[in-house]
Structure 1
Amino acid sequence: MTTESKRATLYRMVMPGHVCPYGLKSKWQLARHGYAVDDRLLRTRAEVDSFKAEHGVKTTPQTFIDGVRIGGNDDLRRFFGHRGAAPGDTSYRPVIAVFGMTALMAMAASHAVSGDAFTIRAAEWFVSFSMIVLAMLKLQDVERFSTMFLNYDLLARRWVPYAYLYPFAEGLAGVLMSAAVLNGLSVPVALFIGTIGAASVIKAVYIDRRELKCACVGGSSNVPLGFVSLTENLFMIGMAAWMLFRPMGGM
């Protein structure tokens, strides 16, 4: 079907102090799917309110194709076959993003230092950089993280301040391990929080069979508690053990 025969009418808010981002997304979606867009701009609050009352809608933008109202940007995405995540849906996307980027960071750092991206040091940096980034995500909203963490961590449920201290401890251990300094501090910290964390996940998920959200990427994620959080803790334990016995010198 040619662009000339694929036409859509889009009503979107473009006011002096605000251009609706969803309107821009809807226009872009229509264009990329080959639609010629009749772009109707709502430039004042009165025009927006009048449009909503006329069409019986609560939000803008609104898209019409062949005279049929498709709806807002999310409705348009579904019209084009894109399934949006529903509230409460579980997703591993945050975890994939974290570990994917920290792996690339580690390889980049290794290449910058030694000219080789695939080294033992790159593997060490992958774990320590992951600890730093995960700690950073938790520290964005410590209150929210601590609330989610208290759902399952064995020590935090006995001593609440631990829920607030945890991301600082993880970040500190990650920074020290990245620099390969003060092993006498970083190793005990990583072993301590990693062991308690692993035990907590095993009890909550594999023994008690509880279905919980993981606090590993902060308190706002929908990552299910289980393999990911257990892996985070086992990484810390393994990294701590490696730092104790790693050969000195070389990359």
Structure 2
Amino acid sequence: MATTTRGTARVYRMNMTKHRCPFGVKTVDLLKRKGFEVEDHWLTTREEIDAFKARENVKTTPQTYIGDERIGGYEEVRKHLGLRVRDPNATTYRPVLMIFAVAFLIGLAVSWAATGTLMAPRLPEYAIATAMVLLGLQKLQDVQSFSTMFINYDLLAQRYVPYAYAYPYIETLAGLLMLAGALIWLAAPLALLAGGVGAVSVFKAVYIDKRELKCACVGGGKNVPLGFVSLTENLVMIGMGLWMGLRLLAG
């Protein structure tokens, strides 16, 4: 079957010995997948790149031309083709939702490894404890940035700043202990502390004070809005602390 083309596109992109521009590679791939014949022009030296920018009066590469029209870089090509372009400043719950989804899958894997069945009685514990560890890990990557964002709304951190630095370690430790089923006498109170203060803080900031803040739940560098998902995270942590604590008392 013959392939229908949408015309010819010319792409000028950086492709030097020590650096191949990833956006140039993505642009060429996208255009080919969308049915264009691509004239792929490599700019292999700094002199070639600077000369191209000066000649075309542009500040960046790659640059794509379709017919006589200059489209621009990778994002502009996506817009030209009617494809969605991610707004780096847009708020999204995707990071925390992906953490919970992966935590559930890890819970299934642990359940299978430990019991030979996917739906072991401890599956919820495995999944929630794993989510706590993954969320804690996100914060531990940059505790300084996390603490700055966290102090914006956490009531305890506002009164006692060192708590903002300790929180990632508290959450991670509690999750690891619950995952192992060890030292629950320590893990359960830690989860109740973090989840309880967090739930009250989020509820006050979002639903009472009506503040529009970023959540520090996945660290300090993501545009996750403080809201329902953040509150749910803390309520789940409270539930986990209560459940594990009651199991310890019953056992």
- Shared fold (TM-score, shorter chain, > 0.5): yes
Q: CA deviation at 1:174?
A: 0.2
Residue 69 of structure 2 aligns with an amino acid whose one-letter code is V
Contact preservation (8 Å) 1:12, 1:62: yes
The CA deviation string for residues 48-97 of structure 1, in whole angstroms up to 9 with x for no partner, is: 01111111110000111112111001111112222222242111111221
User: For residues 90 and 4 of structure 1, do their structure 2 counterparts lie closer, same or farther at Cα, with a shift above 3 Å needed?
Assistant: closer
Please list, as runs of the form range in 1=range in 2, the aligned pairs for 1:18-57 lying within 5 A after superposition: 18-57=19-58
Partner of 1:145: 146
Deviation per residue, 1:9-43 (Å, 9 max, x gap): 00000111111011001011111111111000001
Contact 1:176 1:182 in 2 (8 A): yes
Instruction: Report the equivalent of 2:156.
Output: 155
Give 1:34's aligned amino acid: G
CA contact (8 A) 1:77 1:84 kept: yes
Contact 2:142-2:220 at 8 Å conserved across structures: yes
Shift of 1:119: 2.4
TM-superposed CA distance for 1:113, in Å, is 1.7
Tell me if structure 1 keeps the 8 A contact 2:27–2:74.
yes
Gaps of 5+ in 1: none
Structure 2 residue 242 is matched with structure 1 residue 241:
yes
Q: Which amino acid aligns with 2:109?
A: A
Q: What is the letter of the counterpart of residue 193 of structure 1?
A: A
In the alignment, is the contact (CA less than 8 A) between 2:174 and 2:187 conserved in 1? yes
Q: Is the 8 A contact 2:6 2:35 kept in 1?
A: no
Residue number in structure 2 paired with 1:194? 195
Moved over 3 A (4+): 1-5
Q: Secondary structure at the match of 2:15?
A: strand
Q: Secondary structure at the match of 2:85?
A: coil
SS in 2 for 1:15: coil
Identical residues among aligned pairs (%): 54
> What's the TM-score once normalised by structure 2's chain length?
0.95
- With normalisation by structure 1, the TM-score equals 0.95
Q: Give the Å deviation of 1:2.
A: 4.8
- Give me the whole-angstrom Cα distance separating, in 2, the residues matched to 1:96 and 1:62: 35
Q: In 1, distance between residues paired with 2:112 and 2:49?
A: 54
Q: Which residue of 1 aligns with 2:218?
A: 217
Residue 4 of structure 1 and its aligned partner are, at CA, apart by: 4.6
- The corresponding residue for 2:233 is 232
What amino acid is aligned across from residue 26 of structure 1 in structure 2? T
Q: Distance in 1 between matches of 2:16 and 2:245?
A: 61
Q: Structure 1 residues 132 and 221 mapped into 2: Cα distance closer, same or farther (>3 Å)?
A: same
Amino acid at match of 2:188: V
The one-letter amino acid of 1:149's match is F
Q: CA RMSD in A?
A: 1.7
1:102 aligned partner: 103
Which residue identity does 1:137 align to in structure 2? Q
Are the aligned partners of 2:184 and 2:248 in contact in 1 as well (CA < 8 Å)? no
Q: Aligned residues, how many?
A: 249
- Helix, strand or coil at the partner of 1:37: strand
Report the alpha carbon displacement of residue 154 of structure 1 after superposing the two structures with TM: 0.2
Contact kept in structure 2, 1:3 and 1:36, CA below 8 Å: no
Q: Does 1:67 align with 2:68?
A: yes
Q: Secondary structure at the match of 1:111?
A: helix
Tell me which moved more, 26-35 or 74-83.
74-83
**Cα distance in 1 between the residues matched to 2:66 and 2:247:** 64
